[in-house]
Structure 1
Amino acid sequence: MEKRTNKYKLKLELLSTTRVDDTIYPPIELEFDNHDNIFIIAERMKNRNLFQTENQATEFAIGLKMFSEVMLKNRDNALFSDFRPAFSDFMKKLKSTPIENKKD
């Protein structure tokens, strides 16, 4: 039985750089799947008000979900063995952070 996942497409473009070189990097575009709805998680992160801006909350949500999904798919990889317990504690702490009701 095939697991159900959400499919996403991400495009990353360099808009400006602090470097002096004139290298033009083509955009990176990739498709990936994740067992969670990243849009819902991004909204929840915004509502937790943990970061300076909503944009940072969205960046965090996308990065965290992409990283954790790769770690999950590679659970036997020794690279993650020392990190996995700390990540589990981190996720428990994050999930226990209250979601605030936004005031319009």
Structure 2
Amino acid sequence: MAKRTNIYRLTLEQLELASGKTVFQKPIEIDSDNYDDIFGIIEQVNKKNPFNNLGQLVQFAVSLKMFSEIIIKNHNYPFFEKLFPVFGSFMKGLKAALVQDNHS
């Protein structure tokens, strides 16, 4: 039986340019699968509120989960070889810190 994953739709839309120019790109929309329940992760991490900013929390959780899924799926690519073991260690430490902090 195939492993089931969650499917997400990500939309990136340019709202403002730092340069002040008004040349905008067409929004990019992609569908992405991820083993984890990202909304559940956001909810759990928000209980700890590590950034005191919901926008930063969502950016952190979404970007980290999207990035980690790409690393896991492509860990044999040469540009991920050195990152894969370090990233795994980082994720274990992050999860331990969040679990430990939520039980304090």
Q: Write out the 4+ residue segments of structure 1 that deviate beyond 4 Å after TM superposition.
A: none
**Structure richer in helix, relative to its length:** 2
Q: 1:12 corresponds to which letter in structure 2?
A: L
Q: 1:62 corresponds to which letter in structure 2?
A: V
Say what the alpha-carbon RMSD is for the aligned residues.
1.7
Show CA shifts across 1:54-85 (max 9, x none). Answer: 21111100000000001111121111111112
Show CA shifts across 1:6-52 (max 9, x none). Answer: 01111111111112433220001000100011100111221222213
> Which residue number in structure 2 is paired with residue 99 of structure 1?
102
> Which residue number in structure 1 is paired with residue 65 of structure 2?
65
> Which residue number in structure 2 is paired with residue 25 of structure 1?
25
Q: 1:74 corresponds to which letter in structure 2?
A: N
User: How many residues in Structure 1 have an aligned counterpart in Structure 2?
Assistant: 101
Residues 13-22 or 78-87, more deviating: 13-22
Query: In structure 2, how many angstroms separate the alpha carbons of the residues matched to 1:52 and 1:19?
Result: 29
Percent of aligned pairs sharing the same letter: 41
Query: In structure 2, how many angstroms separate the alpha carbons of the residues matched to 1:13 and 1:90?
Result: 30
Q: 1:99 corresponds to which letter in structure 2?
A: N
Structure 1: gaps (5+ residues): none
Query: In structure 2, how many angstroms separate the alpha carbons of the residues matched to 1:54 and 1:20?
Result: 26
Q: 1:77 corresponds to which letter in structure 2?
A: Y
Residues 78-87 or 56-65, more deviating: 78-87
